[in-house]
Amino acid sequence: MDKFVIQGGNPLIGKVTISGSKNSALPILAATLLTPEECIIHRVPDLSDIRYMLEILKFLGAQVHYEKGTVRVKNKMINWIAPYDLVRKMRASICILGPLIARCGKARVSLPGGCVIGDRPIDLHISGLQKLGANIDIIKGDVVAQGGQLRGTTINLRGPYGSTVLGTDNVMMAACRSEGTTIIEGAACEPEVEDLAKFLVSMGAKISGIGSQRLIIEGVKELHGSEYTIITDRIEAGTFAVGAAMTKGDLFLEQAPVNHMTSVLGKLQDCGVTIQVEENGLRVSRSGPLKAFEIVTSSYPGFPTDMQAQFCAMATIACGKSKVVENIFPNRFMHISELKRLGANIELSKNEVHIYGTERLSGAPVMASDLRASAALVLAGLVADNTTEVHRVYHIDRGYERIDEKLLSVGAMIKRVYSKT
Ligand code: EPZ
C-alpha cells in the first residue's frame, strides 16, 4: 500500500486546476443505464471510485471507453445483477439501483456495507422506490427488486439526519421512467444532485424544481443519449483552499465552483483568510493570524460534512479554541486520533469536538482511514515540523485526482512511496 512522505513547512503558492466532481460523476454514470443510446460525459475525474463504477457498468453489459477525462458509454443490453465484489468496494454503487429497476424492471445489488464514517443505511432509498411500486426484499445481503411498471406518487425523502443525496438520486432516476408524475419532498439539493437532474433533462427527462427540496418529475417512456460536462469538485476546491489557509500560501484554484462553496468560503473569511473571486476561479491566501472558528455540518447549502475533517486539521493550528459539530455522520471523527498523534490538542465527545490551537504540530506516521480524514492528515502534514508519513493513501486516491502531483506543483514537499503490498 502506497504512502505519502511529507516534509512540512512550505507555503502552497501557485495554480491548481480543480477536477470534475466525483460525487456528480458517479450518479451521472449510473444514469446512463437509463438509455440504450450512447452517452458522452466530459470532465470525469480519474479516480479509483470512477474506475469501479465503470467496471460495474461493463459487468452489466455496457460498452465503455474512458480517455482524457471523457467517458463514452452505451448500455445496449444489460443484465440486472450487480457484481458483489465491486459493489462492496464502493458504497456509492447503490445509485445503480434506481436506474436498473427503471430500465430492466428488476435489480439485485448488494447492500452497501457500513464504513468508517458510520452506519450507511439505505432505508430511505428502499422506501422511496417501494412507493413508486417496486417490490423490494433483502435476500442474503442483497437488495432484490422487482419493478414492473413504476407509477408516480408523492415521496418524502427526509430522514433523521436531513435529506439523502444518493437516495434522492435513486428515486429521481427511477421516477424519470415511471408512469405519471412523482413529487419528491425533502429532496437533497446538493449541487451534485442538481447536476444529475440537469443531465437527466438533457436525456429527455421532465424535471422541475431542480436545485430545490421539491422535485416534480413527469415520467417519460424513453430517455435518449446525451453529451454532458460535469461540474467541478467543490470539496476538492475546499480542500486546497484550506491548504492555502493553513500554510499561509497563495493559491489560484482554477475552475473552482465558487457558487457551490458559499458556506466554506464564508467560514474561511471569518478565520482571517483572503478570498478573491476571479474570472475563472478563486484566489485563496493568508498573511495574518488564523482565527479559531465554530462549524456545524448540515445539508446543502449548510456547511458540508465532507469538509469537516479538513477544517478540524486547520483548527489544530488556529489561535484559540474551535468547535466542530457533526450532524450528518455523527461518528465521522476517524481523523481526530491521528491528528492527536501529530500533537493536536482535541477533546471529542459524541458528535462534537473542541480543538485548542497549538503553535506547531510535529510530524509522525499516521494512518488514512476514509477519504476526507486522509485529506485532513495530508493537510496537517504540510504544516507539521519534520516528516509526516500518511499510510494507506488508496483512501485518498478514491476521491482526489493526483493530489500529490497537484500539491508538488505548488511547492509542497510531498512524495508518494509505492509499495507492492
Ligand atoms: C453522499 O453520500 C456523498 N457521497 C457523501 O460524500 C456525503 O458525505 C453525503 O452524501 C452527505 O452529503 C456521494 O455522493 C457518492 P446521504 P450518501 O444519504 O448519499 C442518513 C465523500 O466523502 N441516511 O446523504 O450516501 C445517513 O446515514 C462522501 O465524498 C439514512 O438515514 O449520504 C446520513 O446520516 C462521503 N437513510 C444522512 O442520511 C438512508 O436511506 C446523509 O446521508 C440514507 C441516508
- Verdict on whether the full-model pTM lies above 0.95: yes
Cα-flanking dihedrals φ and ψ of residue 69, to 5°? Answer: 85, -5
Q: Which residue has the cell 466532481?
A: 21
CB of 164 within 6 A of ligand 1: the answer is yes
Q: Which residue has the cell 474570472?
A: 279
- pLDDT reported for residue 103: 93
- pLDDT reported for residue 351: 96
Q: Are strands 135-139 and 142-146 parallel, antiparallel or unpaired?
A: antiparallel
- pLDDT reported for residue 114: 60
Domain spans, the chain: 3-18+232-417, 22-229
**CA 166 to centroid of ligand 1, rounded, Å:** 7
**CA 92 to centroid of ligand 1, rounded, Å:** 9
Ligand 1 pocket mutation, candidates 131, 161, 231, 298, criterion most atoms within 8 A of CB? 161
CA angle 301, 307, 309 (to 5 degrees): 145
Secondary structure (DSSP) of 23-40: HHHHHHHHHGGG-SSEEE
Question: What is the C-alpha to C-alpha distance for residues 69 and 224, in angstroms, rounded to an integer?
Answer: 22
Just give the CATH number of 3-18+232-417: 3.65.10.10
Where the chain has pLDDT below 70, the residues are 77-78, 113-115, 421
In CATH terms, 22-229 corresponds, of 3.65.10.10, 1.10.3720.10, 3.40.50.300, 3.40.50.1220, to 3.65.10.10
- pLDDT reported for residue 112: 80
CB of 161 within 6 A of ligand 1: the answer is yes
Amino acid at position 421, single letter = T
The DSSP secondary-structure symbol of 386 reads: S
- pLDDT reported for residue 44: 98
CA neighbor of 335 nearest in space, from 115, 70, 117, 63: 117
Instruction: Give yes or no for a contact between 159 and 187, defined as CB atoms under 8 angstroms apart.
Output: no
Domains 3-18+232-417 and 22-229 in one fold: yes
CA angle 336, 342, 343 (to 5 degrees): 90
Q: Which residues contact 170 (CB under 8 A, 6 or more apart)?
A: 94, 95, 97, 98, 125, 128, 129
